[in-house]
Structure 1
């Protein structure tokens, strides 16, 4: 698998001019240059991304990975080729490579600094990295038995197009397993979650990653608040050609695990 360099086309200094302004954060999914802003965001926070995730999720991110891998074991117990899309610093794809030592695991991301961070780590021999944009994946049709995407679908510039690309690179009968945040449905828990997500998380995440003033960790709660419902996401999966679609709650109703299969034949 070749490596692909993705050039950065925006040069904004996040300390002088925020990547995500208050105006854009009203609905970040509507930003016409959402992809480039996210590329800058992830380049900025890459070196301490995992630390920030562990702290701001109060340990839930590790539990969510456990649940995701457990679900994969049931749906696709012996994958031969695995694509971890939006892999970041390869935290999940390393776990997948060790869980399935017989599989060829590719961690793909469009953030150059995320991939740099991943390359500095000791990766299993069956794990490789590739720079790739989810809107136009540099892989052949029917290449993978399994595609995973943790906290990535919400960041797609075009969800329908991204899901079609995932379907294209999956083999018939292949599986998609995606994980992301969702606003809790529990009315008693929702105000607590909202206060933490909007008031505490941006400050802690910004301090840990040195990204205060960039809007980086204000993007997360805003993008979740403006994201689609569980039912809508399932409908998007079906529209993209997936079947056996399911949505499961992870943890205290703040994350969901989406799964779907490409039809056989």
Structure 2
């Protein structure tokens, strides 16, 4: 089954009351596509798990993915992040749990769906995080994260953008350039997308995998593999 796209009308509904504090960093690194991609992720996930009762937003930050998710579903959502300040500044009300994504503070099979957006690349061990997301999910795992293009010329291009251009584009939006340079250093230490795709296919039953924005991001919706 293919990815399900959010319609223009659905996106309009998301944008109509989007909080002013919605994270700008992901706007800049995703070429202003982050909200659309989150909506597409949610719609695709709900195609495979149409009636979830309990959903976990891993490394939720201020809850941007949860905000989008609630535009499409009435499922009970839990936001989990390592940063207490992020959780306190959440853009949406709801249950918030402080914890690390490489050691999720939940029992096995606690959630119908486990999701994450623009966060897994910050981990020192992506495999461990995926195993943890799989462990606490009863059915579905869905995520978007920054990767690294397999093509050398694309790696060079996006590396140049992240290092030399994005911090100053962020400055035009009122942000401090130095606050965005860390993204380039995360990008440098990442493995290539082929490595991650192989890893995900080994651990999960992949239903949708695609790469976006010159292969700088991967989009994954998967079911638990029967054991």
CA positional deviation for 1:108: 0.8
Partner residue of 2:23 out of 20, 42, 50: 50
Q: Does 1:61 align with 2:34?
A: yes
| Residues 37-71 of structure 1: per-residue CA shift (max 9 Å, x gap) | xxxxxxxxxx9671333245331212221221232
CA distance in 1, matches of 2:69, 2:150: 30
SS of the residue aligned with 2:41?
Answer: helix
CA distance in 1, matches of 2:177, 2:84: 17
Q: Does 1:133 align with 2:97?
A: no
Partner residue of 1:255 out of 214, 217, 220: 217
CA distance in 2, matches of 1:162, 1:258: 14
Q: Does 1:233 align with 2:200?
A: no
Partner residue of 2:48 out of 68, 75, 78: 75
Partner residue of 1:164 out of 128, 131, 144: 131
Counterparts of residues 3-22 of structure 1 (less than 5 Å)? none
Counterparts of residues 64-143 of structure 1 (less than 5 Å)? 64-101=37-74, 103-118=75-90, 121-123=91-93, 127-143=94-110
Pair 1:154–1:188, CA change in 2 (3 A): closer
**How many residues end up aligned between the 2 structures?**
207
Pair 1:160–1:191, CA change in 2 (3 A): closer
| Residues 62-104 of structure 1: per-residue CA shift (max 9 Å, x gap) | 2221221232132222211111101111011121123111x11
* Greater relative CO, 1 or 2 (CA 8 Å, sep 6+): 1
Q: Does 1:220 align with 2:172?
A: no
* Larger Rg, first or second structure (1 or 2): 1
> What is the TM-score of this pair, normalised by structure 1?
0.68
Q: Does 1:198 align with 2:163?
A: yes
Pair 1:131–1:72, CA change in 2 (3 A): same
CA distance in 2, matches of 1:244, 1:74: 14
Structure 1 runs not aligned, ≥5 long:
1-46
Partner residue of 1:152 out of 119, 123, 128: 119
4+ long deviations beyond 4 Å: 184-192
The match for 2:205 is: 243
Answer with 51-60 or 61-70: which moved more. 51-60
Asked if the contact 1:93/1:105 (under 8 Å) is kept, the reply is: yes
Answer with 79-88 or 66-75: which moved more. 66-75
Pair 1:114–1:206, CA change in 2 (3 A): farther
CA distance in 2, matches of 1:158, 1:255: 17
